[in-house]
């Protein structure tokens, strides 16, 4: 039984989701396999206005991961609500919509427009509040690097969203103590956490002897950051167990490519797991990872996925 509970009545039939930004808004992926069968489809972060993103090149490969500096390219919330959300509904997908903004007021505005959409109740299982994009200069600040800024975004978004739609704050690993940010987001009303966004990096082209990415820095994803994700989930889950911060469901993300990887994040404390960069090499990865995870639990005689969440802490 792969059912997982994300709180506030949100039950997913399986815990394997897509990661934001890695499969746009689902249309290409759905040509290959039914996205209604994914635990939930997580959309590319959407802002208020259409956005073309950063200059190119904005991708760089490394031996164990990928660096991106997309810069929040997207259609804006009004086109999203008009085209993407009805499409997600028409194929029966459970969607987690990722929202972003360059001010806390913009986050609230995006949330308001999303909640007002005719397809909202039928389609949106949860909202991911992306306070951790490394590629947008909010006057040099990534919200999730600062507890007060993280709390401010959540405080403005919470009143816009019905209680039945949990808000997951997406955190960055680029902080000294991620439990401080987790506490700020949860105390300001986030009902769950997604960990982690990409890790800030730079690549230099040794032929040209210049930085490779047009925007200089990018976010590192893929196998390289899996131990960082496991560490972040571990620290926050441990703080919850110890009663140091409020308890809430965690969605794990970072370098998951196999069912075993998904199990690792789960054992650290994640109640669901997103597959991101792996999709670029294997578009069917989310479905495969769910199958592998099921087989792995079955082979170990574990009847329910929910029984292994965080159990590595019982040592």
User: Whole-number minimum distance, CB 50 to ligand RRO, in Å?
Assistant: 14
Residue whose beta carbon is closest to ligand RRO: 219
Which of these ranges, 67-75, 80-88, 175-183, 200-208, lies near ligand RRO under the rule CB under 6 A?
Answer: 67-75
Could you say whether residue 130 binds ligand RRO (CB under 6 A)?
Answer: yes
Could you say whether residue 45 binds ligand RRO (CB under 6 A)?
Answer: yes
Q: Which is nearer to ligand RRO, 136 or 267 (CB)?
A: 136
Q: Which of 14, 43, 123, 135 touches ligand RRO (CB under 6 A)?
A: 135
Size of the site for ligand RRO (CB under 6 A): 16
User: Whole-number minimum distance, CB 190 to ligand RRO, in Å?
Assistant: 16
Q: Answer yes or no: 22 catalytic.
A: no
Q: CB of 134 within 8 A of CB of 94?
A: no
Q: Which of 15, 134, 254, 310 touches ligand RRO (CB under 6 A)?
A: 134
User: Whole-number minimum distance, CB 217 to ligand RRO, in Å?
Assistant: 10
Which of these ranges, 5-13, 66-74, 179-187, 264-272, lies near ligand RRO under the rule CB under 6 A?
Answer: 66-74
| Given 22, 95, 133, 278, the catalytic residue | 133
User: Whole-number minimum distance, CB 130 to ligand RRO, in Å?
Assistant: 5
Interface residues with ligand RRO (CB under 6 A) are 21, 45, 68-72, 100, 130, 132-135, 197-198, 219
């Amino acid at each position: 039984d792969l059912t997982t509970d994300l709180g506030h009545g949100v039950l997913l039939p399986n815990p394997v989701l897509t990661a934001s930004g890695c499969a746009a808004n689902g249309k290409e992926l759905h040509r290959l396999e039914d996205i209604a069968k994914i635990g939930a489809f997580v959309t590319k972060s959407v802002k208020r206005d259409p956005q073309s993103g950063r200059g190119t090149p904005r991708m760089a490969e490394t031996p164990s991961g990928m660096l991106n500096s997309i810069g929040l390219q997207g259609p804006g919330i009004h086109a999203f609500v008009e085209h993407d959300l009805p499409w997600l509904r028409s194929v029966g997908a459970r969607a987690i919509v990722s929202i972003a903004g360059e001010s806390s007021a913009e986050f609230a505005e995006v949330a308001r427009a999303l909640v007002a959409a005719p397809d909202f109740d039928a389609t949106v299982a949860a909202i991911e509040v992306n306070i951790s994009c490394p590629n947008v200069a909010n006057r040099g600040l990534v919200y999730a690097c600062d507890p007060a800024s993280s709390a401010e975004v959540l405080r403005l978004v919470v009143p816009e969203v019905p209680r039945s739609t949990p808000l997951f704050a997406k955190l960055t690993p680029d902080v000294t103590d991620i439990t401080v940010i987790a506490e700020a987001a949860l105390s300001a009303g986030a009902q769950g956490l997604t960990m982690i966004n990409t890790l800030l990096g730079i690549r230099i082209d040794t032929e040209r002897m210049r930085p490779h990415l047009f925007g200089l820095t990018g976010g590192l994803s893929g196998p390289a950051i899996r131990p960082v994700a496991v560490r972040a989930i571990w620290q926050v889950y441990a703080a919850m167990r110890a009663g140091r911060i409020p308890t809430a469901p965690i969605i794990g993300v970072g370098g998951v490519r196999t069912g075993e990887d998904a199990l690792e994040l789960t054992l650290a404390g994640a109640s669901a797991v997103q597959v991101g960069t792996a999709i670029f090499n294997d578009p069917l990865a989310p479905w495969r990872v769910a199958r592998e995870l099921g087989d792995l639990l079955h082979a170990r005689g574990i009847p329910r996925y929910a029984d292994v969440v965080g159990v590595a802490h019982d040592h």
